[in-house]
Amino acid sequence: MLRGCARFGLGGSVFLLAIALVAAGPASAAGFSIFEAGSRSTAMGGAFVAHADDLSAMFYNPAGLGKQAKKGELKAMVGVTLIVPKAELVEGYNPYPGQGYSSKMADQFFFPPNFYLSYGLSDEVSLSFGTWFPFGLATKWDDPDFRGRYLSQYVDLKQFAAGLQVAWQINDVIAIGAGPEMRFSTVKLQRKVPLFNPFTNRIVDAAHADIRSDLEMDVTFGAGIKITPTPKLSIGASYHGQVDANFEGDSTFYQLSTGNAQLDAAFAARIPVNTEVPTKTTIQAPAQTQVGIGYDFGKVSVEAAGTFTEWSAYDVTVLEFEPVDGKQVPTTVLPHDWEDVWAFRFGAKWQLSEKFDLMGGFVYDQTPEPDGDVGPLLPDANRRGYSVGFSWKVGKKTWVDFSNLYLTFSDRSVTTNDDNFNGRYKNFANLTVLNMRTSF
C-alpha cells in the first residue's frame, strides 16, 4: 500500500501519521497562489503591474495609486471571485493505488472577496486600505474508500491580506508606493490514519484525524515603483514580502474500530485518541515579485509582465505535538525541495467608447511542485490561462468590471511520488471576477 506500510506495525503507523500531518498544511499553499485581485487585471491575464490604473494596484503595484490621487476624493472598489476547480486521478499506477484505479475530487465553489478604499491627500499622494486573498487551496475527496485517504481527504488553507499603503506621484515620470500588510491564516486537514493489522496482514483504518489551526496573524509589506518615460510607455515593478506563519492548534484522532479489540487497545495506548492534542508548525508563504512593461497605442493598450514567486522558501517543515496523558507523537522533519518559478502574462485593452472597454489576456504559470510531492493532497501542474472581460461605465463615476479566466493544467503523470502513490492527474479551473468601482 503506502511506502513501508507492510513493514510497520503500530510504531510505523505513528510515523506515517506524523508525516501526513506535516505535509497537510504546508503542501496546501504550494503552487496555489490566488492572483485574481481585481476584474480588469484578471481580464488582462494578470498583466497589470505596469498600468495599475485601478485600486487593485494595492496588490499589483502600489505605485499606481499615486497617479490616481485627487485631493479630497474618496475612491472605492469592491468585488468577488468565483473559483470553480476540478481535479481527478485519471489513472493510478502499480503497485499503488493500482493500474486503472481512478477517482474524482468533490465539486467545490469558492468566493474570495476583495475590497479597496483610497483617499487623495493631495493631487500626488494617496492613502489606501485594501483586502484580498493572496493564497488559498481546498481539496476534497468524497469517496470514503478513496485509496489516498491516508494522505488526504480534505484540506483547506486560507490566507487573507489587509494592507495600508501610501503612494506618491513624485513627478511626471516616477511614482512609488508602499505599506504594511497584515496576513491572517488558517489551516484545516482531515484524513484517515493507517495501521498494519498483523492478524490479517492488511492495512486498516485506525482513526480519523481532524487538524485545525487557530487564526494566525503575521505582518509583511508591499511596495512598488512605476516609471513613465513617455505618456505612452509605462514600466512597473512590485514586491510582496514572505510570511512565516507559526501555527498553533489542535489535532484530534477519532479512533475507528479495526474489528480487533486487542489491536484497538494497542493503538490507543500509543496515540492520544478522542482528545485534543496541541500541535504547532510553521508554513512559509513565499515572497512575490512582479515586473512589467506596457504601451498605449491610443485606443489600444498592451502589457507583458512576469511574476516571480520564491517557493524555495518552502523547503522544510517541522511538526510538533505536545504530550497528552504521557503519550507522545514524535516530532517530524519533512523536506519539500520546492522551486522558485515564473509566470508569464500578456494582456490587451481596447477602448471601444468612452463607456466601454474590452480586454483579453493569456498567462503561462509554472508549478513549483516536484514529482515527489505530487499526490492527493496537491496534484499541481503547469497552467495556461485564457481570459476575457469588459469594463462598462454605468454612472457618472461608476464602472462595472467583469472577467472570466479559464485555466487548463497540463496532465501530470507521476511515477516517483515519495509516498509511492503514483498516477496521472488532470485538473482545470474557471475563475469569474466581478467588481464595481466608484468615487465620491
Q: What is the mean pLDDT of residues 125-152?
A: 91
Q: Which residue has the higher pLDDT, 335 or 352?
A: 352
**Structure confidence by residue, pLDDT tens digits, 302-324:** 999 999 999 998 777 777 889 99
With 80 as the cut, is the pLDDT of residue 216 above it?
Answer: yes
pLDDT at 1: 30
Q: Which residue has the higher pLDDT, 352 or 108?
A: 352
440 by DSSP, 3-state: which? Answer: coil
Closest residue by Cα to residue 17 from 149, 143, 147: 149
With 90 as the cut, is the pLDDT of residue 332 above it?
Answer: no
Between the alpha carbon of residue 387 and those of residues 37, 212, 358, 359, 405, the distances in Å are 14, 35, 11, 8, 4
For residues 17, 3, 146, 264, the Cα torsion angle rounded to the nearest 10 degrees is -50
- How far is residue 347's CA from residue 295's CA, in Å, rounded to a whole number? 11
Q: What is the mean pLDDT of residues 243-266?
A: 93
pLDDT at 334: 65
**Structure confidence by residue, pLDDT tens digits, 49-91:** 999 999 999 999 999 999 999 999 999 999 999 999 999 999 9
Residue 3 placed within a domain: no
Residue 2 placed within a domain: no
With 70 as the cut, is the pLDDT of residue 24 above it?
Answer: no
Largest CA distance in the chain: 79
Residue 72 placed within a domain: yes
- How far is residue 421's CA from residue 368's CA, in Å, rounded to a whole number? 19
Q: What is the mean pLDDT of residues 168-197?
A: 94
Closest residue by Cα to residue 320 from 378, 277, 290, 271: 277
Structural domains counted in the chain: 1
Residue 143 placed within a domain: yes
| DSSP codes of every residue in 313-345 | G--EEEEEE--BTTB-PPPEEEE-----EEEEE
With 60 as the cut, is the pLDDT of residue 21 above it?
Answer: no
Q: What is the mean pLDDT of residues 161-190?
A: 95
Percent of the chain past pLDDT 90, that is, above it, reads 72
Per the CB < 8 A criterion, the answer to whether 288 and 312 are in contact is no
Q: Which residue has the higher pLDDT, 164 or 28?
A: 164
pLDDT at 20: 35
pTM: 0.88
Q: Check which CATH number belongs to the domain holding 141 and give it.
A: 2.40.160.60
Q: What is the mean pLDDT of residues 349-370?
A: 95
Q: Give 122's contacts (C-beta < 8 A, 6+ positions apart).
A: 69, 71
Residue 304 placed within a domain: yes
- Cα angle 219-224-226, degrees, rounded to a multiple of 5: 170
pLDDT at 4: 31
- Write down the mean pLDDT value for the chain: 89
pLDDT at 355: 96
Residue 354 placed within a domain: yes
| DSSP codes of every residue in 220-261 | EEEEEEEE-SSSSEEEEEEEE--EEEEEEEEEEEEE---S-H
Between the alpha carbon of residue 346 and those of residues 291, 301, 390, 429, the distances in Å are 12, 11, 16, 19
Residue 5 placed within a domain: no
pLDDT at 333: 67
Query: Which residues are paired to 369 by β-bridges?
Result: none
Residue 182 corresponds to which cell in the numbers above?
497584515
Which residues constitute the domain of residue 327?
A: 10-439
Residue 303 corresponds to which cell in the numbers above?
502589457
Q: What is the mean pLDDT of residues 198-220?
A: 92
Confidence tier at 180 by pLDDT (50, 70, 90): very high
**Structure confidence by residue, pLDDT tens digits, 363-403:** 999 999 898 888 888 888 999 999 999 999 999 999 999 99
Q: What is the mean pLDDT of residues 191-210?
A: 91
| DSSP codes of every residue in 349-360 | EEEEETTEEEEE
Please state whether the peptide bond connecting residue 95 to the residue before it is cis, i.e. omega within 30 degrees of 0. yes
Q: Which residue has the higher pLDDT, 427 or 335?
A: 427
Residue 1 placed within a domain: no
- How far is residue 70's CA from residue 240's CA, in Å, rounded to a whole number? 26
